[in-house]
């Protein structure tokens, strides 16, 4: 097999080289045929065995597991990576050799990546595989840095290459001329970078929220997350500044800038909510307006994001009409319209309606003012704090802070103590009874368990109390969140109070 290579190196005449190629190919073919025919029986049975195995797997586990298994067995991404890197390295060696020979400028070397790196769909796939492993380790590194254990967030190694590949298909990267291809590749890389930054923001945001909500005040835990956030704010600004200096406005630059601005905005929203929660944690009094402020900040952010979604859709439509209109772009635009515009509008509207109905329900409940002689001899069963100004009374005669009950009502319609409907028709009111054991057991056991564990800096799984998260319905974590007391006797006393 190596004979033609030797022939190439020692510079044999071209006809001799061609003959060598043919001879070496023929030898290889004959060798393969002889081997196969000698072991024909083995070949036949192993093929049949593989076929039966695949058929069996398909019947038992379905096509998805079969494909996944095959994917793992043939190490497809690894094969692609090795292929691409070897090809790149070989061509780099040849290019350096050629540059030395011709004494040409080194500038050509830069364009080399685009010439050989993505000149066909296969090489684009190889490049995606390389990007996949880079993104994977980048994602893992950042997760470790900010101290997140979210399994879902490890998908960066999957998201980035898919995005790169789709972008390459969408812009017809491999079909372009070499010089154009380099420019196109750089542009795609910029878009990919902003997308990855958005993804990283998606990873840091929950950590930031959990840190602020759990009142952990260790600098070591906060600093990395804040650092990444600041980085996410500064990098897009730098990127768009640099790009604006070198390029005139076109649809691509517009898209990158819009992505950057959107990212900055998201970071600002996250940091503002974080600051609000930190301020709330710093003062021990109940901050009644906090929930509203968080809601305003978040909804402003969401509305602007939504507007950006529409602008990007318009930008995409413009590109499709006047620049390049491929089927893939059309598909991507449909996906964009569904996920970034339709779903976002739907969720925003749902949150808004949830809030409105919750407020309406609260206002329909009777209010008891706290008088001088301390009329309400009880604590709110949600936050275990005393009533300072007033309390709302449910039809089942349980007392809550209006704010606490409202947050609860985002999650569900029943009383947290006794699981009876909070908001009901008048005729049903008469049949309600007092709390039963079941109703008391749910929130209190959780809190009790936490106290027995007795960690001073108890870190809860951290759910910000804003509306989006609350609707998930994590009632147990949620009830435990605002509890500060640490003495078991106090708890037992409180439990008795509540049962009364
Ligand atoms: Zn309360
Ligand atoms: Zn009740």
Distance 419 CA to ligand 2 centre (A): 6
d(Cα 134, Cα 467) in Å, to the nearest integer? Answer: 36
Ligand nearest to the CA of 403: 1
Q: Rounded to the nearest whole angstrom, what is the distance from the C-alpha of residue 415 to the centroid of ligand 2?
A: 5
198-202, 466-470, 485-489, range with the lowest pLDDT: 466-470
Token pair of 404 as six digits: 């606490």
pLDDT tier, 215 (very low <50, low <70, confident <90, very high otherwise): low
* pLDDT confidence of residue 472: 40
| DSSP category for residue 458 | P
Q: What pLDDT shows up at residue 432? A: 42
Tokens encoding 459: 């870190």
Query: How close is the Cα of 39 to the center of ligand 1, in Å?
Result: 79
pLDDT at 452: 39
In the reported structure, the alpha carbon of residue 164 is separated from the centroid of ligand 1 by a whole-number distance in angstroms of 49
Better pLDDT: 246 or 498: 246
Q: Calculate how far, in angstroms, residue 286's C-alpha sits from the geometric centre of ligand 1.
A: 8
294 Cα to the center of ligand 2, angstroms: 28
Alpha helices in 323-342 (DSSP H): 327-336
The rounded Å distance from CA 487 to ligand 1 centre is 19
Counting ligands in written order, the one closest to the CA of 388 is 1
Q: Which pLDDT tens digit goes with each residue over 351-398?
A: 888 888 888 888 888 888 776 655 667 788 888 877 777 888 888 888
The residue ranking higher by pLDDT, 498 or 460, is 498
Ligand with smallest separation from the Cα of 365: 2
Do the beta carbons of residue 224 and residue 210 sit within 8 Å? no
**Nearest ligand to residue 413 Cα:** 2
pLDDT tops 60 at residue 467: no
Residue pLDDT, tens place only, 106-135: 555 555 555 556 677 888 888 888 888 899
| Closest ligand (CA of 379) | 1
Mind listing the pLDDT tens digit for each residue in 134-190? 998 998 898 888 887 776 667 788 889 888 998 888 888 777 777 788 888 888 899
Is pLDDT of 228 > 90? yes
pLDDT(303) > 80: yes
- Of all ligands present, the nearest one to the C-alpha of 432 is 2
Output the CA 416–ligand 2 centroid distance in Å: 6
- pLDDT band (50, 70, 90) for residue 51: very high
pLDDT band at 481 (very low <50, low <70, confident <90, very high): very low
User: What sign results for the dihedral spanned by CA atoms 394, 399, 403, 406?
Assistant: negative
Contacts of range 115-119, beta carbons closer than 8 Å, 24 or more positions apart: 115/178, 115/181, 115/182, 116/87, 116/88, 116/91, 117/84, 117/88, 117/185, 118/168, 118/173, 118/174, 118/181, 118/185, 119/174, 119/178, 119/181
Q: Which ligand neighbours the alpha carbon of 442 most closely?
A: 2
In which band, very low, low, confident or very high, does the pLDDT at 424 lie, cut at 50, 70 and 90? low
CA of 162 to the centre of ligand 2 (A): 51
Q: What is the pLDDT of residue 105?
A: 52
Ligand positioned closest to the Cα atom of 400: 1
Q: What's the pLDDT at 483?
A: 42
Number of the ligand closest to the Cα of 404: 1
- What is the spatial distance between Cα 243 and Cα 277, in angstroms, rounded to a whole number? 36
* 378 Cα–ligand 2 center, Å: 14
Ligand 2 midpoint to CA 421 (Å): 8
Average of per-residue pLDDT across 268-294:
83
Q: 235 or 415: which carries more pLDDT confidence?
A: 235
pLDDT band (50, 70, 90) for residue 453: very low
Proximal ligand: closest to the CA of 440: 2
Q: Ligand 2 center to residue 440 CA distance, Å? A: 9
Instruction: Give Cβ neighbours of residue 498 (< 8 Å, ≥ 6 apart).
Output: 378, 379, 381, 417, 435, 440, 444
Q: Say what the pTM is.
A: 0.67
Q: Are the C-beta atoms of 158 and 132 separated by less than 8 Å?
A: yes
Q: How far does residue 272's CA lie from ligand 1's centre (Å)? A: 24
Residues 6 or more apart in contact with residue 212 via CB below 8 angstroms: 273, 274, 276, 277, 278, 281, 464
Question: What's the pLDDT at 240?
Answer: 92
Q: What confidence tier does 257 reach under pLDDT thresholds 50, 70, 90?
A: very high
CA of 382 to the centre of ligand 1 (A): 5
CA distances from 466 to 281, 341, 477 (A): 15, 21, 14
Opening angle at CA 256, ends 252 and 262, nearest 5: 145
Tokens of 86: 């070897």
* pLDDT of 430: 43
Mean pLDDT for the stretch of residues 454-464:
39
Cα–chain center distance at 100: 47
Tell me the CA–centroid distance for residue 399 and ligand 2, in Å.
8
Distance (angstroms) between ligand 1 centre and the Cα of 268 equals: 29
Residue 390 Cα to ligand 1 midpoint, Å, equals 11
CA of 443 to the centre of ligand 1 (A): 13
> Would the CA dihedral through 372, 376, 378, 381 be positive or negative?
negative
Give the number of the ligand closest to the Cα of residue 414: 2
Q: pLDDT band at residue 340, thresholds of 50, 70 and 90?
A: confident
Distance (angstroms) between ligand 1 centre and the Cα of 289 equals: 13
227 pLDDT band (50/70/90 cuts)? very high
Q: Detail the DSSP E strand segments found in 303-387.
A: 367-369
Return the ligand number nearest the Cα of 482. 1
Query: Ligand 1 center to residue 499 CA distance, Å?
Result: 17
Which ligand is nearest the CA of 405, by number? 1
Give the helix ranges, DSSP H, for 412-436: 426-429
Share of the chain above pLDDT 70, in %: 77
Q: Which ligand is nearest to the CA of 396?
A: 2
Interatomic CA distance for residues 463 and 486, integer angstroms: 21
Average pLDDT over the chain reads 77
Q: What angle do CA 151, 152, 155 make, to 5 degrees?
A: 110
pLDDT score at 111? 55
**CA of 433 relative to ligand 2 center, distance in Å:** 9
Report how far ligand 1's centroid is from the alpha carbon of 407 (Å).
10
| Helix/strand number for the chain, H first, E second | 20, 3
| Ligand at shortest distance from the CA of 394 | 2
Per-residue confidence (pLDDT) for residue 439, from 0 to 100: 38
Question: What confidence tier does 471 reach under pLDDT thresholds 50, 70, 90?
Answer: very low
Cα–ligand 1 centroid distance for 51 (angstroms)? 64
Residues facing residue 367 across a β-bridge: 392
Q: Which residues contact 65 (CB under 8 A, 6 or more apart)?
A: 57
Q: 397 to each of 245, 267, 367, 440, how far by Cα in Å?
A: 67, 43, 11, 14
Q: Which pLDDT band holds residue 1 (cuts at 50, 70, 90)? A: confident
In angstroms, the CA 175 to CA 446 distance is 61
| Cα gap 43→34, rounded to integer Å | 12
């Amino acid at each position: 097999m190596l004979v033609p290579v030797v022939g190439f190196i020692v510079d044999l005449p071209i006809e001799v080289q061609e003959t060598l190629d043919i001879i070496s190919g023929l030898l290889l073919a004959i060798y393969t045929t002889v081997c196969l025919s000698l072991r024909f029986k083995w070949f036949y049975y192993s093929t049949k065995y593989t076929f039966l195995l695949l058929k069996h797997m398909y019947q038992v586990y379905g096509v998805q597991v079969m494909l996944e298994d095959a994917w793992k067995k043939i190490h497809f991404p690894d094969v692609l990576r090795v292929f691409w890197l070897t090809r790149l390295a070989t061509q780099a060696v040849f290019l350096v050799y050629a540059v030395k020979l011709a004494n040409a400028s080194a500038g050509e070397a830069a364009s080399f990546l685009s010439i050989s790196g993505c000149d066909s769909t296969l090489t684009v796939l190889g490049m995606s595989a390389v990007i996949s492993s880079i993104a994977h380790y980048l994602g893992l590194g950042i997760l470790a840095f900010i101290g997140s254990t979210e399994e879902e967030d490890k998908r960066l190694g999957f998201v980035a290459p898919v995005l790169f590949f789709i972008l390459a298909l969408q812009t017809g990267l491999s079909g372009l001329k070499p010089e154009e291809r380099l420019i196109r590749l750089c542009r795609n890389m910029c878009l990919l970078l902003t997308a990855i930054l958005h993804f990283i923001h998606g990873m840091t945001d929950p950590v930031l929220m959990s840190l602020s909500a759990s009142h952990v005040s260790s600098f070591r835990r906060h600093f990395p997350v804040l650092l990444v956030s600041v980085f996410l704010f500064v990098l897009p600004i730098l990127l768009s500044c640099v790009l604006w200096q070198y390029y005139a406005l076109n649809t691509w630059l517009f898209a990158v800038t819009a992505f950057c601005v959107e990212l900055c905005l998201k970071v600002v929203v996250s940091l503002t909510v974080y600051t609000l929660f930190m301020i709330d944690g710093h003062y021990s009094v109940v901050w009644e307006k906090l929930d509203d402020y968080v809601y305003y900040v978040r909804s402003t952010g969401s509305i602007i994001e939504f507007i950006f979604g529409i602008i990007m859709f318009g930008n995409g439509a413009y590109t499709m009409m006047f620049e390049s209109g491929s089927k893939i772009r059309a598909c991507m635009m449909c996906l964009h319209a569904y996920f970034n515009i339709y779903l976002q509008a739907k969720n925003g509207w749902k949150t808004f309606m949830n809030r409105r109905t919750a407020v309406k329900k609260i206002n329909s409940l009777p209010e008891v003012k706290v008088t001088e002689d301390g009329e309400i001899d009880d604590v709110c069963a949600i936050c275990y704090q005393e009533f300072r100004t007033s309390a709302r009374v449910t039809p089942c005669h349980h007392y809550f802070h209006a704010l606490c009950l409202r947050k609860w009502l985002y999650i569900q319609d029943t009383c947290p103590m006794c699981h009876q409907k909070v908001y009901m028709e008048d005729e049903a009111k008469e049949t309600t009874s007092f709390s039963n054991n079941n109703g008391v057991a749910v929130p209190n056991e959780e809190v009790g368990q936490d106290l027995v564990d007795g960690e001073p800096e108890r870190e809860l799984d951290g759910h910000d109390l804003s509306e989006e998260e609350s609707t998930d319905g994590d009632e147990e974590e949620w009830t435990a969140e605002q509890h500060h007391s640490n003495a078991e006797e106090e708890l037992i006393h409180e439990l008795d109070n509540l049962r009364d």
